[in-house]
Amino acid sequence: MDWLSGLPVIGPAVTWLMTTHLWRAYERMLRVHWTRLAAAITFTSFIAVFPLLTVAAAVGASVLSDRQLHDLENRLADQIPGIAEQLDLAGLIENAGTVGLIAGAVLLFIGIGWVESLRDCLRAVWEKDDDGTNFFVGKLRDGGLLLGLGGVAVLSLACSAFASAAVGNAVRALGLAPGGLGSILLTVAGFCIAVLADFLLLLYILTKLPGVRPPRRAVVLAGLFGAVGFELLKLLLSGYLKGVAARSMYGAFGTPVALLLWINFTAKLLVFCA
């Protein structure tokens, strides 16, 4: 890129671009091999996603009502655009109550391994070495991080549900028509609420998991960028993922391939935000 900065017309623009934070972030991504890190996150997330959902649904089945479980199912489906129906989340949640104690412990252990892998990848972005923690202490720490992540996820979902209900009540109280301005307000408010929920999750993932203390402004900007980017990915890739899942050339593997693609897009966004 250095030779481009010497060109008469585009040289100044290239020189300016190479001094921006975005360009420095891109150079850092290349230095830490971010596509490999995203691939590692994709693999471990694909292995752990259903065990984690099963454990979460089993806990939810014991403490939530049927209506709340159905609402949880809908919110989980919203996070997987285009292919949620093919994944049969309803069947997974309905049968989660049959998970035994031993099976639940095994599934939880898989989730702890996912946290460990995700933490190592995020620390690699920061170019931090392994902290050398004892194996058993490390597993306990990762278990605590997983529980914390679950708590933050529940908090973000609760905030999202409360805000959505408040906006809906406000629209009805103002007497706005469902198909006119009221619909636009609900759509915009829904997007902003989803961004807020994602932002809370990202703040936890970007700071607590890798065990780093970046400047507050950098964390807020990265969280906002990631939250908005995640919601835009859901809007833009819904049709594409649905098309991938329906391709006859993939046969029965269409839905897993689409899920892998979605996880990989999300992993790349997460690594870039880190």
pLDDT for the residue 82: 64
Per-residue model confidence (pLDDT) at position 92 = 65
pLDDT at 8: 63
What is residue 41's predicted lDDT score, i.e. its pLDDT?
87
Instruction: Break the chain into its structural domains and give their ranges.
Output: 1-31, 32-273
Q: Spell out, as residue ranges, where the chain has pLDDT lower than 50.
A: none
Whole-prediction pTM value? Answer: 0.77
- Cβ–Cβ < 8 Å for 237, 265: yes
